[in-house]
Structure 1
Amino acid sequence: MPLAYLDSAASAQKPGQVIDAEAEFYRHGYAAVHRGIHTLSAQATEKMENVRKQASLFINARSAEELVFVRGTTEGINLVANSWGNSNVRAGDNIIISQMEHHANIVPWQMLCARVGAELRVIPLNPDGTLQLETLPTLFDEKTRLLAITHVSNVLGTENPLAEMITLAHQHGAKVLVDGAQAVMHHLVDVQALDCDFYVFSGA
């Protein structure tokens, strides 16, 4: 009996051309990037930077230099939490997340808040799986440093109204991290139009 794989929202099967391209690179093109002067290193560096440019166009970033490669969305969120977060969140500050977040967008902020003595605030859900947006203005104050919110829920499929949420966060001087793991393959993401500070997603 043929297998119907229906769990791509969690982890998608890799297209044959992706597997073939990776195998070809490992067989014939593998080398350290940005640190060698030999042919393979120069070629690998050029390929990597071309991908960075393509990815920047894909999300309409202002510059390819805004993009940082990570192994996945979880690592990307942790990178922000352990770099920007460690430098900017202090005791008495607060971070806002929602009740619909993936663990990858909960645990790093829980750990950061516990480490520095900050507060983690949570936007509750309505019975229909949407956020109780009317509570959001009450969660922000002058100590809010970050809103970390999913673009599209990995469980519910709910698409959040990012424009108004990001505007509200910026009005309070807070940065915004968007978990775009479930959105980037279904929407034309324009990070300039969204005006978020971090947009994290995976290409795998």
Structure 2
Amino acid sequence: MAADPQSSPFIKHLASSDKDIRDQALTSLRTFLSGRSEISDLDLLKLWKGLFYCLWMQDKPALQQRLALDLASLPSMLQTPVVLPFLRAFWLTIAREWQQIEALRMDKYLFLIRHYVNASFKYLARKNWEDEVVEEYMQILEETPLNPVDMKIPNGLRYHVLDVYVDELEKVESVWEGKGGALERVLEPVRKLAKEGKLKVLRVAAKECLGDERLKAWRGGKGER
């Protein structure tokens, strides 16, 4: 039986200063993850701390983007019971570590976040936008990156998720005929932030997201519901 992430050497190796060691650790992690149908929330958080620093240690923009894309591909290889807990651990880790990301490193994390928004929508599409799955993931978004009231959540994270939300949704599903209910559920965390956001600037940003002309087109020319 494979060892738990907290006791596996590859977790600490993800944050190694040696690229070859990081690459080997990521390969080992892929094998480990694909074989697991259950991983504890604590172990997922520890795993994501290692992945966060794996990207932290990567220099050179081209290699950073390649690594970010590799990390964003992880949900597609996970067994179903692990996907949403894995995504939740991702958002919690990004929110927790956000304040220490200096300007020179921010771009690679913004790139990673964009592709995780996309990866999340791809997962929901693979599940045919099932009500229960969509609802559970929307609760994850409301809990962390789009939380309307918890000011411990970095506003920069909120703004970036709002900024890429419709773009990444369009890449995954640009035709919503017959799936209007799913579209409205996917927009609910944004709608809640627009109504309940503690800061006016957050409410305004969420309303701008909801006012995107593509959403109107997807509703058959109708505006916000």
Is TM more than 0.5 here?
no
Query: Higher relative contact order at CA 8 Å, sep ≥6: structure 1 or structure 2?
Result: 1
Larger Cα-atom Rg: 1
Q: Normalising by structure 2, what TM-score? A: 0.26
The structure in which a higher percent of residues are strand is: 1
Q: Normalising by structure 1, what TM-score? A: 0.28
